[in-house]
């Protein structure tokens, strides 16, 4: 936990490496200093909450301004072939706002690309670059695009848009027509990491993570296994989330953690 009160201030007159000085346990880094601003980028409503909800709740409670960017409209997140997809889009936006509120996050931005059809081309990269330049986060969090054997194309494209959006945002010659100052985040954390090397302790923030996940009521049946017997299945879902966090923390002696690949030479 050391250093968690320290600000991740990119304008401070210190080399980047000094505020990311590792508080390590074995090969794992544990806990970044609390950033002033963080941007989490997910493919669908609910991905951010699964990937880093506890970390965002912890940072928000310590004063970090958290913005969430959801790239698709979530319009295929239903097992009902007759679902009203326009209504589902609005429902999932409301759920994401409620989930963000449960974490203490501020803004939620929706780019509204069609669920299942996300691409990582230049136009999408420009959109992500613009948000990074507007939000000016110290830390960006997103899907690991290099996760092996990943099936869902949206998660892969969202990961590439996150890393490629950072490369564009930091360089003044990329998308100069945006008229926005370039911005270089200090650190990138990738969830669902192919090679975990960083943990965030979420022991005190598992409750808001679970509350955020449960805000996605349209996903209870398809994603969370909560259907016929909501109260029992809700408890089973909560214990799966706790077990996953316990597994993530075990190698560093943490009770509950979220696991990431950390890139800090951006």
**Contacts with Zn ion, residue ranges (CB under 5 A):** 43-44, 47
Closest CA to 39 of 7, 59, 69: 69
Q: What is the dihedral of CA 135, 188, 107, 145, to 10 degrees?
A: 120
Q: What is the token pair recorded at 184?
A: 């270089």
Closest CB to Zn ion: residue number: 44
- Measured from the CB of residue 47, what is the shortest distance to Zn ion in angstroms? 4
Cβ 41 vs Cβ 161: under 8 Å: yes
The CB-of-217 to Zn ion minimum distance in angstroms stands at: 16
For Zn ion, give the closer residue by CB, 33 or 77.
77
The answer to whether the Cα torsion of 219, 222, 223, 228 is positive or negative is positive
Rounded to the nearest whole angstrom, what is the least distance from the CB of residue 143 to Zn ion in the complex? 8
Residue with smaller CB distance to Zn ion, 43 or 168:
43
Angle between helices 85-103 and 47-61 (to 10 degrees): 30
Tokens in use for 200? 């965030």
* Both tokens assigned to 93: 């936006």
Choose between 33 and 159: whose C-beta lies nearer to Zn ion: 159
CB atoms within 10 A of CB 35: 26
Q: Report CA 245 to chain centroid distance, whole Å.
A: 15
Q: Taking Cα atoms as reference points, which of 241, 44, 29 lies closest to residue 159?
A: 44
Of 215 and 252, CB closest to Zn ion: 215
Inter-residue contact 169 to 129 (CB < 8 Å): yes
Q: How far is the CB of 221 from Zn ion (least distance, A)?
A: 16
CB of 260 to Zn ion, least distance (A): 17
Minimum distance of Zn ion from residue 216's CB (angstroms): 11
For residue 117, how far is the Cα from the chain centroid? 20
Cβ nearer to Zn ion, comparing 8 with 158: 158
Q: Which is nearer to Zn ion, 45 or 185 (CB)?
A: 45
Nearer CB in complex with Zn ion: 120/186 = 120
To Zn ion, the closest distance from the beta carbon of 46 in angstroms equals 7
Cβ-based burial of 172 (10 A; exposed 0-12, middle 13-18, buried ≥19): exposed
């Amino acid at each position: 936990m050391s250093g968690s009160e320290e600000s991740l201030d990119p304008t401070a007159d210190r080399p980047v490496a000094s505020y990311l000085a590792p508080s390590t346990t074995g090969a794992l880094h544990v806990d970044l200093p609390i950033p002033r601003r963080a941007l989490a980028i997910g493919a669908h409503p609910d991905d951010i909450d699964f990937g880093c909800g506890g970390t965002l709740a912890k940072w928000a409670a310590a004063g970090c301004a958290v913005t969430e960017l959801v790239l698709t409209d979530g319009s295929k997140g239903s097992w009902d072939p007759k679902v009203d997809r326009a209504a589902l889009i609005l429902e999932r936006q409301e759920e994401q706002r409620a989930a963000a509120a449960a974490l203490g996050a501020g803004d939620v931005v929706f780019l509204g690309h069609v669920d299942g059809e996300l691409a990582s081309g230049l136009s999408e990269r420009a959109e992500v670059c613009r948000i990074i330049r507007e939000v000016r986060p110290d830390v960006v969090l997103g899907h690991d695009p290099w996760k092996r054997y990943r099936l869902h194309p949206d998660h892969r494209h969202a990961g590439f848009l996150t890393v490629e959006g950072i490369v564009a945002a930091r360089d003044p010659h990329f998308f100069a027509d945006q008229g926005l100052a370039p911005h270089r985040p200090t650190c990138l954390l990738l969830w669902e990491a192919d090679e975990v090397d960083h943990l965030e302790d979420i022991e005190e923030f598992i409750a808001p993570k679970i509350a955020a996940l449960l805000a996605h009521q349209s996903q209870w049946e398809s994603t969370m296994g909560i259907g016929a017997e909501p109260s029992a299945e809700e408890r089973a879902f909560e214990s799966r989330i706790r077990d996953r966090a316990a597994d993530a923390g075990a190698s560093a002696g943490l009770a509950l953690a979220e696991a990431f690949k950390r890139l800090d030479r951006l």
